Amino acid sequence: MTSNPPPDFLDPSLPTLNIGHPAIMNVRGEEVVIPEGLLEKALQELETLEEVSLSDLPSRETGLERLRQIFSIVDRVGDGVSSGMSCHSGCASCCRVIVATTRGESELLRERVRTHPESDKVRWGEGILQRNALLEALSRTRNPPADLGRLEGLIDICEPYEKENQACPFLGPDRMCQVYADRPLLCRICWVLTDPKDCEPGEGPPVKFRTAVFHRAHEMVGKISQHHFLDDRVSPIPYWFREDQGT
C-alpha cells in the first residue's frame, strides 16, 4: 500500500478552501478537519447579515456593530480549525507586514485605544509616527509615489516594508497584540498551514488557510466602510492615526 505524497505547499490551489474542496493537510501531515456545517453556517450568516445591512441608514455606531458581527462569524471559523494551524500565542511573525485596513476597522481600533491608559497611548503614538515615516519614505521611492490610501499602493511597497521588519505599533513587548479584541479582519484570518519559520523575514512564503467565508467577509467589510463611514480608502493600520496626531 503506497502512502500519499506530501502536500506541495507552493501549489496555488491550496490556500483557498471552498465548500466541497478536498481535504488539505498542515505541515505536520495532519488533515485539517473542518467541523461539519461550519463553513456553510458561516456563509449563511454573512448573507443574512448583508441583507439586513442593505436597509441600514448610514451611522457610525451601526457600522461598528456590523463589523463586530462579521468578526464574530469569522472568529468562529478560526476557532473551529485552530488546532490544525501552525499559529500560536506570542508568535507575532505576521505582525510586521502591511495590513490593509478600512476606515471602519480603523474606527474600531480608535475606540479600543480610547479605553487604554495614557502611557499606552504615548508609546503607541511614538510607534505610529515611526511607522508612518517609513511608509511615506517607501512611497516616495516609487514613481509616481505609491498611494497609501489604495490597495494597489500598499501592494507596491508591501515587500520593501516587510524587509524592514518593523512590528505593528500595537504589538506589546510580550509579542502579544494589545488591541486584540478589535484587530482588523486581515489579522483575524492569518491562519498558517506551513511551518511557522516560513513567516519569518527572508523565509517562506507561508501558505495560509483561506475559505469562501473569509473572502465574503472581506467584501462586506469594504462595503460597510463605504456605506456607514463614506470612505472607500484602504490604508495600513498606522496611517489612519495620522489624523489624531495632526499629520
Q: Is residue 130 part of a domain?
A: yes
- Per-residue pLDDT band for 246 (boundaries 50, 70, 90) equals low
Q: Is residue 17 part of a domain?
A: no
- Residue range 33-39: average pLDDT? 88
Q: Is residue 8 part of a domain?
A: no
Q: Is residue 6 part of a domain?
A: no
Collapsed DSSP state (helix, strand, coil) of residue 119: helix
Give me the pLDDT at residue 15, please: 44
Q: Is residue 162 part of a domain?
A: yes
Q: Which residues of 197-207 are buried (b: 16+ CB within 10 A; e: fewer)?
A: ebbeeeeeebb
Lowest mean pLDDT among 8-22, 44-58, 141-155: 8-22
Its sign, for the CA torsion 203, 195, 99, 181, is negative
Cα(94)–Cα(78) distance, rounded to whole angstroms?
16
Q: Which residues of 32-66 are buried (b: 16+ CB within 10 A; e: fewer)?
A: bebeeebbeebbebbeebbeebeeeeeeeeebbeb
Taking the CA atoms of the chain, what radius of gyration do you get in angstroms?
Answer: 19
Tally of domains within the chain: 1
Tell me: pLDDT of 49 over 90. Answer: yes
Lowest mean pLDDT among 88-102, 144-158, 164-178, 192-206: 192-206
Q: Is residue 76 part of a domain?
A: yes
Give me the pLDDT at residue 29, please: 82
**Average pLDDT score over the chain:** 88
Domain holding 211, by residue range, is 22-28+35-245
Cβ atoms within 10 Å of 217's Cβ, excluding its own: 24
Lowest mean pLDDT among 19-23, 93-97, 185-189: 19-23
Q: Is residue 16 part of a domain?
A: no
Q: What is the pTM of this model?
A: 0.88
Q: Which grid cell sits at 41?
A: 453556517
Q: Is residue 50 part of a domain?
A: yes
